[in-house]
Amino acid sequence: MFCTDGRYTTQAAAEVPDLPTRVQRASAHELATTAAAERARYARTGFESQHVSVEQAASLTDAAGDVELRRSPGLVERLRAVKDEVEIDALRRACGAADRAFADLIAAGGVCAGRTERAVARDLETRMLDHGSSGASFESIVAAGAHSAIPHHRPTDAVLEPGDLVKFDFGATVDGYHSDVTRMAVLGEPADWQREIHDLVHAAQAAGVRAAAAGARTADVDAAARRVIADAGRGAEFLHGLGHGVGLEVHEAPSLAATADGTLAAGMAVTVEPGVYLAGRGGVRIEDTLVVRESDPEILTLSTKELVVV
Ligand code: ZN
Ligand code: ZN
């Protein structure tokens, strides 16, 4: 059954023609009421508890009557972690839109001293729309100078200056599927320390991609990239997990982190995105969206991973 409210009646008829549709804004309540009315069939009903507020949970419990409601966090997410080729094609197009937008931005001289982070982010997002994105995957990150050392910096009115490292983390949405990519530029010839951390992250990212094979434990993929950074004495400056699944949501199962418990399977779409962040100076992250295959992974984000000198 598909529940939606009156704003989406026409869209639902076109996009979900093969399911019974109920026009009811309180959809969780409606589904629980239906389960209660057909108790024999739905005696034990799971729900995605990570998406339900305390209020909604109370309403669900009221409506469910004798039906046993079970918290089932991540149940549907796990089912969709392995993508089929139609989904992978949508991801490929989402990655292509982001790649082309970034190439256009660089070619047009859109990354230059005197421009604000916000102006560059807006420019990049407009170019993604021009290349078929229905909207940014998430609020684009453009982080210049010391801001690049903040993993999830939000663009500000800070102006790009000569010598700045600039981090771009962005993605496009195509047919509901998201892309996620991070690339680095520098305004003018890079300083030795900028080149050093970029080379290091580049090597770590390549090690992570090589390790992302079907059958690999997700924690081992994280470790493969993390080891490269730790061996260079910069382990403490890699501040987050290696990556995450990407699909209908920009962050979904599986998680690629030291604490993650899971195994990669062919058809999973994940990011590999190590970083090194020197607080107050600057940071580097390099991120691809890729598809796990039986042999080598298929990288979907094809923008150059070299440090782009503008
Ligand atoms: Zn990203
Ligand atoms: Zn990411």
| 70-127 tens-digit pLDDT | 999 989 999 999 999 999 999 999 999 999 999 999 999 999 999 999 999 999 999 9
CA of 58 to the centre of ligand 2 (A): 34
Q: Which of 117, 111, 170 is nearest to 139 (CA)?
A: 170
CA of 249 to the centre of ligand 1 (A): 12
Alpha-carbon separation of residue 222 from 19, 212, 216, 242, 307 (angstroms): 40, 9, 10, 5, 23
CA of 15 to the centre of ligand 1 (A): 29
Residues of the chain with CATH 3.90.230.10: 81-309
Residue 254: cis peptide before it, omega within 30 degrees of 0: yes
CA of 181 to the centre of ligand 2 (A): 7
For the chain, give the mean pLDDT.
96
Class of domain 2-73: alpha beta
Q: Once rounded to an integer, what is the mean pLDDT over residues 167-189? A: 98
User: Which range among 71-75, 129-133, 204-208, 236-240 shows the weakest confidence by mean pLDDT?
Assistant: 71-75
CA of 95 to the centre of ligand 2 (A): 13
CA of 172 to the centre of ligand 2 (A): 12
Q: Does domain 81-309 have CATH number 3.20.20.80?
A: no
| 18-34 tens-digit pLDDT | 999 999 888 888 888 98
- Any idea which ligand is nearest the CA of 182? 1
Tell which phi-psi region holds residue 68, choosing left (phi > 0), alpha (psi between -120 and 50) or beta: beta
- Any idea which ligand is nearest the CA of 251? 2
CA of 269 to the centre of ligand 1 (A): 14
- Any idea which ligand is nearest the CA of 271? 2
Residues of the chain with CATH 3.40.350.10: 2-73
CA of 42 to the centre of ligand 2 (A): 37
